[in-house]
Amino acid sequence: MKYKRLPHSATHQRVVALSRSQKKAIMIVADLIALPGALLSAYMLRLSTWWPVEFLQPAWWLFAVLPILGVFVFARIGLYRAVIRFMGAHAILAITKGVAVLAVALACLAYASNVSPFPRSIPVNFALVALVYVGGTRLLVRQYYQWLVRHFVDKKPVLIYGAGGAGVQLAAALDNGGDYFPVGFIDDDPRLWGEIVRGRPVHRSKDIEALIARFGIRQVLLAIPSHSREAQRSIVERLLQYPVKIQTVPSMAEIVEHKVAVDQLREIQLEDLLGREPVPAIPELLEKSIAGKTVLVTGGGGSIGSEIARQVMAHSPTRLIILEQNEYALYQIAMELEEIRNNNQLHAIEVIPILGSVCDGLLVGKILTNYKVQTVYHAAAYKHVPIIEENIKQGIRNNILGTATLAHLASKVGVERFVLISTDKAVRPTNVMGATKRVAEQVLQSLVVEGTQTRFCMVRFGNVLGSSGSVVPRFRAQVEQGGPVTVTHPEITRYFMTIEEASSLVIQAGSMAKGGEVFVLDMGEPVKIRHLAEKIIVLMGYTPKSEDNPKGDIEIKYTGLRKGEKLYEELLIGSDSEKTSHPKIMKAMEECVEYEKLTESLSVFESLLLTDEEDRDLDTILCQLLGELVSGFSRVQEVESFDKQSLELNETGNSCGFYKELK
């Protein structure tokens, strides 16, 4: 039987419509009746009779004075300012104090006026009965109000998973709100099964299906902030089989630090389903490349670059420079960093936002020289595979030539550390984006082989949840629009990591660099995109439509692999990797193209980008060049007319004369 609501009544409407002053007046009248009633009950209990006239006659005036005195005492202790529907232990304690004062006053008045007969137990009996009458009436009113809200206000029935402290707090908050009505708790602790917590039964997890059918529940609220991520993931995985939307309370750390309240529910994020317990960062590695140094973050307005910038701010650099070519993105991160600096009293840190591109050699040279940059985190890159497949020239200019310009100038001016943010798509790439990132890696490796004081390294990892290139926001938007959710292939698989974890590991890996290493982050187990789409659909309160479930809400539509896309990604070119001092970071030393061949190819790339060659032919030529530099790049098409030696190479290079010097 589903949960039904009673129709609104005139009584309910009148109760809700009462003003605050009217409610206070009702409480005062109730106390004026309750206190003499408590005194009469005290006599009845002591004398075991309904109407002890011989005892009441000498004390008649106490029945008039005591309620007036009681209202005065209760007003002084603030009892009439308390909101009854929120009344808890503090209000009961205040009533106890007030009643105790009245009992003492009653005894003093009786003995001072020689009231006789006046049994000595009357003040004690009065205190006990008055506590029941005054406190009990308020509790009854509170329960009546909650009953009205429960049956006459249109609140959604929900289950709370977790009958601990967070669950009880959440239930209390929801009772006083206007959105949800908790019908019960679910808990995995057998000791709590069948018990009553805050007036609601605690059920086993296997009762969920029956409760959903009985009450028409469409939402389950997780109140288990102290559970490990693995335990939370396991619970969410179990709940995914039911047609309910899942929300959760904030983490215990956020609650303890008073950042958010326990009733501030949020959607379950894909991060919650990764099942990865974050490994504590090594403070020395975080601070080694940042504390007291001038740090440059390129692409600082992007998802990875901006998170690196935030984490850099937390470790006391002298100066933080953000280089970004998107004006709005630069504005956003600059304002956010300014707010972080002001809120955390970090006024000694200088934040410098610079609008520009890493391809601008003159600008990059001035930044590195004028600010004496010591650490570079190079996150600026074009990374959307389908876009770069159609814009090969721009991908090469930004990802390869931009990296080469920045890296050469960093080596020239003596930057201490240079960390390139790379990608798993650089391993045996089938797309131009991955190939350009592999060449960018080789640029750094070649500089190390040739000899440099700068410690160059690369950090390679897969997809990050919440980045601008992540499928998660697109899937959510498609679900909100009613579907279908589009997946390229049912077997396509990717690695995923949170932005915060990836950025922290990038910083730590950079501090371990000796020169030329490729650091690979432990991405955990790969995830099928099809399963990820199904989970997002269920988490948002819908069911996937499939052959097995033709009546589902949201269809998953397979569109076919996009140009340059492959089913599986890899993190290592070779099979060998070494452990580092951090359990989530591995190290590999991979072969690269000879220095002379690479510098020649870079000059050819620059010259080709300045030609008026037809785009189709030029793209083919550029892909052939990439194929010569990148092992395993399978998008190569031969062009008979192409001859590198016939090209008149650009002798001046870009604006900083990089290629001329390199040659």
pLDDT tens digits along 290-348? 999 999 999 999 989 999 999 999 999 999 999 999 999 999 999 999 999 988 888 88
Task: Report which DSSP code applies to 561.
Answer: P
Q: What's the pLDDT score for residue 323?
A: 97
Q: In which band, very low, low, confident or very high, does the pLDDT at 78 lie, cut at 50, 70 and 90? A: confident
Structure tokens at 265: 């529910």
What is the DSSP track for 430-442?
Answer: SSHHHHHHHHHHH
Catalytic residue among 245, 293, 383, 425: 425
Given a contact cutoff of 8 angstroms between Cβ atoms, the answer to whether 522 and 504 are in contact is: no
Average the pLDDT over each of 53-57, 255-259, 483-487, 603-607 and give the range with the smallest value.
255-259
- Nearest CA to 526 among 424, 401, 662, 648? 424
Rg (CA), the chain: 36
Q: In which band, very low, low, confident or very high, does the pLDDT at 660 lie, cut at 50, 70 and 90? A: very low
Is the pLDDT score of 662 beyond 60? no
Average the pLDDT over each of 57-71, 442-456, 496-510, 562-576 and give the range with the smallest value.
562-576
Q: What's the pLDDT score for residue 404?
A: 94
HSE of 605, CA atoms in CB hemisphere, 13 A? 31
How far apart CA 483 and CA 477 sit, in angstroms, is 9
Is the pLDDT score of 283 beyond 80? yes
Given 3-state DSSP classes, what are the helix, strand and coil percentages for the chain, each rounded to the nearest 5?
A: 50, 15, 35
Q: In which band, very low, low, confident or very high, does the pLDDT at 14 lie, cut at 50, 70 and 90? A: low
Is the pLDDT score of 591 beyond 80? no
> What three-state secondary structure class fits 554?
strand
Instruction: Give exposure, 329-363, as e/b (b: 16+ Cβ within 10 Å).
Output: bbeebbeebeebbeeeebeebebebbbbbbbbbeb
Burial of 48 (0-12, 13-18, 19+ CB in 10 A): exposed
Q: Which helix (H) or strand (E) holds 47?
A: helix 20-47
Q: What's the pLDDT score for residue 274?
A: 59
- Nearest CA to 352 among 371, 325, 375? 371
Q: How many other β-carbons are positioned within 10 Å of the β-carbon of residue 256?
A: 11
Q: Which helix (H) or strand (E) holds 327?
A: helix 327-343
| Number of residues assigned to the chain | 663
Q: What's the pLDDT score for residue 634?
A: 67
Active site residue 425: yes
Is the pLDDT score of 8 beyond 50? no
Distances (CA, A) of 538 to 187, 212, 236, 314: 21, 15, 10, 37
- Nearest CA to 167 among 225, 122, 116, 217? 225
Segment of 165-174, 190-199, 448-457, 643-652 carrying the highest mean pLDDT: 448-457
How far apart CA 355 and CA 487 sit, in angstroms, is 36
Please report where in the chains the tokens 């589902």 appear, as a residue. Answer: 552
Is the pLDDT score of 655 beyond 60? no
How far apart CA 418 and CA 589 sit, in angstroms, is 16
103-159 confidence digits (pLDDT tens): 888 888 888 888 778 788 888 888 888 888 888 777 777 777 666 665 555 678 889
How far apart CA 290 and CA 410 sit, in angstroms, is 17
240-253 confidence digits (pLDDT tens): 888 888 888 765 55
Segment 541-563 mean pLDDT: 82
- Nearest CA to 31 among 103, 135, 108, 125? 135
Is the pLDDT higher at 552 or at 651?
Answer: 552
Is the pLDDT score of 428 beyond 60? yes
Q: What's the pLDDT score for residue 1?
A: 39
CA 657 to chain centre: 45
> What three-state secondary structure class fits 352?
strand
Q: How many other β-carbons are positioned within 10 Å of the β-carbon of residue 544?
A: 21
Burial of 207 (0-12, 13-18, 19+ CB in 10 A): middle
Distances (CA, A) of 443 to 481, 483, 495, 575: 44, 44, 26, 22
Is the pLDDT score of 219 beyond 80? yes
> What three-state secondary structure class fits 185?
strand
Q: What's the pLDDT score for residue 94?
A: 80
Q: What's the pLDDT score for residue 374?
A: 96
- In degrees and rounded to multiples of 5, residue 102 shows phi and psi of -65, -40
| Beta partners for residue 353, in sequence order | 322
Q: In which band, very low, low, confident or very high, does the pLDDT at 4 lie, cut at 50, 70 and 90? A: very low
> What three-state secondary structure class fits 494?
strand
Is the pLDDT score of 513 beyond 60? yes
Given a contact cutoff of 8 angstroms between Cβ atoms, the answer to whether 593 and 442 are in contact is: yes
CA 496 to chain centre: 15
Is the pLDDT higher at 89 or at 316?
Answer: 316
Q: What's the pLDDT score for residue 468?
A: 59
Q: How many other β-carbons are positioned within 10 Å of the β-carbon of residue 539?
A: 23
| Beta partners for residue 456, in sequence order | 418
Structure tokens at 497: 């990591």
Segment 368-392 mean pLDDT: 93
E strands, 21-132, in order: none
Q: What's the pLDDT score for residue 650?
A: 43
Segment 425-450 mean pLDDT: 90
Is the pLDDT higher at 407 or at 66?
Answer: 407
